[in-house]
Amino acid sequence: MQNFITLKDFFKQNKWNYILGIICLLIIDSIQLLIPQIIRKVTNLLEEGLIVPTELLKYSLLILLTGFLIAAGRYLWRINIFGTSRKMEHYLRNMFFEHLLTLSPNYFTTHKTGDLMAHATNDINAVRQASGQGIMMAVDATFLTILSMIMMAKTTNIKLTLIALATLPFITLTVNKFGKVIYRRFTSVQEAFANLTDTTQENFAGIRVIKSFVQEDLALEEFTQVNEDNLSKNLALVKVSGIFHPLVQFVSSISFLIVIIYGGRLVMLDTITLGDFIAFNNYLGLLIWPMMAVGWVVNILQRGVASMERINTILDEESEIIDSENPIPLDKARGKIEFKNVDFKYPGAKEPVLKNINFTIEEGKTLAIVGRTGSGKTTIVNLLLRLYDIDHGEILLDDINIKDIKMQDLRENIAYVPQDNFLFSTTIKDNIGFAFDEEVSDEMIIEAAKAAEVYNNIVDFPNSFDTVLGERGVTLSGGQKQRVSIARALIKDSPILILDDSLSSVDTETEEKILNNLEKLTNRKTTIIISHRISTIQNADEIIVLDDGQIIERGTHDILVENNGLYNYLYEKQLLEEKIY
């Protein structure tokens, strides 16, 4: 149970809910023990012929009253125990998601989305059951067992009680043996479910690729294998549970057989009365539930422990990118950026991606980065945003090392349009205003959309800016997604703007309009433009050319064309392509 220490703050805050729920549960259990005594009394009076209608009515009303009290008590303990377990589920899911947001991007490159989704759903549900149903059944079974045994021994016959409870040691051994097996097999089930979730999510996300390459059969075969593995792991768990619960029930039912044989003989010998015998059987009936509940408790708690251990594995992960001990707050940056002797290698990689990178962008200037695919262009941006930390050298913003700047302040001073143009499954308006905690005015949204040359497209939609996009913005074309992403960055109005190949899906005419709009808006911003198109970056104040992680050329467009190097080669190639097409 040490795995649940993670939730100690929650249990401390909600201890009175659990205490009140347990008190209600104990009161109900105590009231339940009165019913066999009422039946015992009535049976003895009937056997002696002393019962009268008024007495019968009195006992009937008494049973009715106990039933009402039990119903009211059950409502209260359900609200306090099960309700609190639902709060715990909400608390743990928030804690889990909040922790994921603190982890560095590298963590998500090495852990599958489906696996994380399984933790956030199945594992947390198992923990919730352990902290609700598990606690209830454990308390109920323990208290009801003890009280029932006391009442059986005190009101009937001590020898009959001991004989009836002779099966308890066997139940304890059964629980101990099966509990460990259930723990191992449930862990396997959760891992299989994570693989199933990951495969399903990946296939749904890539359904267009699967269909365009006619790979439905291969996708189905892969899914079937994972699904069969999930089935076999679940069946393995079911086999154990299928033996465990009936076995516990069978062993506990032996007690009834003993009571009927030996208790019936005691009645015939007048050692106990018929009322005593019936009351004893009622107590034994109450006791059978706790005996069976022991099996359920072990099952639920072992599942909860296994799931909490899996969740703790993630919660114990620490981000590789953290603020310094005393970070420097940065309200509004001026925008001067400097890379000094920067080397960087991705975690786990053998070769460095960037080698000895040096450049300076003065406040309000535009730097363009061009180069072949895989030369390290996007990596430079990732390092500036501190999505990764450099291995050697310094990155300065306004002459301050970015490692010394509060990370939130650093990123709030940068508006970034990434390559993948990720859009959320919400309205266009919400996507454009994503950077703001409060609602953004329609005027600001429209102004940003016009600057990104996407306004006319948006107003043509039936619901205009209130149009809800599909997953990852699938309902928009590639060019529309890029322009909505640009609008999202422009409305942020940060002193630094980064465009990472953000006009690749836009036609040249629209590109020219966007660049003209950007020139008006960014004359006071420091801008970094990464592009394969020379037309996009030829007016930049400085252009650096990357190849194999190193800067091999730098200067203005005219200077680089005259150098007759890689830049000129790319430029002439694109001019030739334009003539051909």
Domains and CATH numbers, the chain: 2-194+236-315 (1.20.1560.10), 364-580 (3.40.50.300)
Phi and psi torsions of 204, nearest 5° = -65, -40
Tell me how far apart the alpha carbons of residues 257 and 242 are, in angstroms, rounded to a whole number. Answer: 23
The set of long-range contacts for 330-333, using a CB threshold of 8 Å and a minimum separation of 24, is 330/397, 330/398, 330/400, 330/405, 330/406, 330/409, 330/410, 330/413, 331/409, 332/413, 332/495, 333/397, 333/398, 333/413, 333/495, 333/496
Kindly tell me the number of DSSP H helices and DSSP E strands found in the chain. Answer: 25, 10
Tell me how far apart the alpha carbons of residues 312 and 310 are, in angstroms, rounded to a whole number. Answer: 5
Q: Which two tokens stand for residue 155?
A: 């009101």
Q: Which amino acid is at 295?
A: G
The 10s digit of each residue's pLDDT in 255-313 is 777 777 877 777 777 777 777 777 777 777 777 667 666 666 777 887 788 888 888 88
CA of residue 46 relative to chain centroid, distance: 62
Strands (E) across 38-80 are located at none
Smallest Cα–Cα separation from 227: which of 199, 255, 258, 187? 199
pLDDT for 152 equals 73
pLDDT for 212 equals 62
Smallest Cα–Cα separation from 116: which of 321, 313, 318, 387? 313
pLDDT for 16 equals 92
Smallest Cα–Cα separation from 303: which of 188, 436, 166, 140? 188
Q: Listing from the earlier edge strand, what are the strands of the sheet with 337-344? A: 354-361, 337-344, 392-397, 400-401
Q: Listing from the earlier edge strand, what are the strands of the sheet with 550-555? A: 414-417, 496-500, 526-530, 366-371, 542-547, 550-555
pLDDT for 8 equals 85
Q: Which two tokens stand for residue 453?
A: 């040359």
Other Cβ atoms within 10 Å of 367 Cβ, number: 23
Q: Which two tokens stand for residue 158?
A: 């001590």
pLDDT for 10 equals 86
Q: Which two tokens stand for residue 449?
A: 């959309």
Q: Determine the angle formed by the axes of helices 216-258 and 168-205, rounding to 10 degrees.
A: 170
Smallest Cα–Cα separation from 25: which of 183, 140, 145, 197? 140
Q: Which two tokens stand for residue 184?
A: 């191992």
pLDDT for 471 equals 72
- Give pLDDT < 50 ranges for the chain: none
Strands (E) across 210-365 are located at 337-344, 354-361
Q: Which two tokens stand for residue 199?
A: 């495969």
pLDDT for 339 equals 92
Which string of b and e fits 56-93 if b means at least 16 CB within 10 Å? eeebeeeeeebeeebeebeebbeebbbebbebbbebbb
CA of residue 41 relative to chain centroid, distance: 56
Ramachandran class of 360: left when φ > 0, alpha when ψ lies in -120 to 50, beta otherwise: beta
Q: Which amino acid is at 106?
A: N
